[in-house]
Chain A
Amino acid sequence: MLSVRELTKTFGAPPDRLVAVDRVSLDVNDGEFFTMLGPSGCGKTTTLRMIAGLEQATSGSIMFDGQDYTRVPPQRRNIGMVFQSYALFPHLSVFENVAYGLRPRGVAREEIASRTDEVLRALQLDRYRDRLPATLSGGQQQRVSIARALVYRPSMLLLDEPLANLDAKLRVQMREEIRRIQREFGILSLYVTHDQEEAMAISDRLALFNAGRLVQLGRPRDVYRHPASLFAAEFIGRANLLRAKVLDRAAGAAKVMLPGGGMVAVPRVVALGDAETARVPPDADALLMARPESMKLGPIEGRMPGRILRAQDLGGTNRYIIAAEAALGELTVEAARSAPEYGEGASVGLALNAEECVLFIRPDPR
């Protein structure tokens, strides 16, 4: 098990000191696929590099299976790492690239060959054994770099945006493959990405980062359904925000009034952090967050009125971009094919499934 405690990294001297990673703590279990997700520049790579030992932590600790890794040099951590740029050795053949990590481990010559070939086969690379990396496609290079990281049976696998250089279709294909290989090897994996869809699709659990801090940690679906902040709500999936006035509040739940939309009982209430409080407009005291699939379109009577700005056919579903008086910005609603369809410019009534919504309120003034 990997345990990271209060890990901090600062760059530069005081006048323009930058806290790239700010007291991050997390645990990753054996065999788990764990993702660090966040916008670019939020400190994911720096965290990963500290775990790898490529960057020295300013403070905090990194433990693996009860052993303190914080000051262990990278070459003795027994880690596998996959870089965004692949970082394959351009002058070495595929075989030599993959076998690279076996040599410093004093593996006998015959065993180097057999183990390398075994991993090459597992990644369907045996045909390219003697080629130079530059002669391979992006996806193949990526597989070589995974093979190189796995061949010496590391205790964990670190991947820093490994799919960023691939085109969209290959990206989806490769992420499934990475997941398959990870399961096959049963290896604790730490994956970094800024792509929330990718993170949702392959992670057992994910940690959401913002500005150097770990802001939320959990299973993808839990973070999606129960975002702990506006940032989390908006970064993971689409978030529709509606102005709300709180009528009544009891432990963990609230009854709110929506402009032109009547009363709703929301089972989940989250207090906003200081930075996000300003997002609540003056004429409201809370924001109601509804996912696109938690909203329904229907006749106007008795519902919140809205107007269709754009209708997008996504194949399986229809997506509507809607303007509504109650909304902060535009709303996105997804409706099944079977539901009635609306054209652009049409007026519609909006309903929501309050069970699936989250209410963000201003913190109690105290």
Chain B
Amino acid sequence: MGNNNNDNNSAVKIVKNIAFRIYRWDGANPDDAPQMKVYEVPVYKGMTVLEGLIYIKHYLDQSISYRASCRMGVCGSCGMMINGKPLLACQQQILKLETDTVELRPLANYPVVKDLVPDLTRMIVTHQAIKPFIIRRETPPEEIGGEFHQSVEELVNYLQFSYCIKCGMCMSACPTVGSLPEFHGPQPLGQALRYINDTRDEGFEDRLAVMDTAEGIFRCHFAGACSEACPKGIDPAFAIQLLKGEIVRRGIFRKKAGASAALMPLTQENPPRRENIPTPPPRTVE
């Protein structure tokens, strides 16, 4: 797209110019006061906020920083405050905002690296701490050597929560994350439930030890802002309430977890490969 490309032969028709007011601050110069810079962006129908930012970076100001990758709501990189709400820039169409000014700020509740780039360390570290992987007590993963049996109903129990793209927008919407630095926040807690609800997993006690603290899961007030913000329909607020119930049932009333998923028996020692599956490339490391 060219500068103000408004001619009739062009593939896109500019509907109007919109002012982007963008938060500018560089962590490399922490003493400089943050400022809001305004850029005029020609907007066509269907144009997303991310495309607006790409336009600005390309034609108006190459020093601006933002994070994006997939441009289709999958990688979770482009979360930012758009007109005061945490939204994915690649999914938010500019004209649908129905304002003449689009104000962009970095996600709330995180330190800023530069301009629209938040430092997501808090979420990533807490996510790691709740052990977001299948834990088996008896068999170490390298000895499993097969697939676990899981019914469709058992899959549905955690499927919704497994769609998390780690965009961090739930954390930026959560009032408790904003006021309590030690609170785990909706993203890690939602993922704790995702694994606890998985019949292949046996790591409830490990995760309980992380979550069951004075500043942990029970500081969630069910404000529900995280679920409003989540672009993938995870409903982390609901996940947290389910998790509280599970902690009470299993942690306090000692209700036994259902039997863990069993390994599916291999029908043959070396099942033949289907013909149309390409052979994997040779190993590059031993």
A, B co-complexed:
no
What residues of chain A have their CB less than 8 Å away from a CB belonging to chain B? none
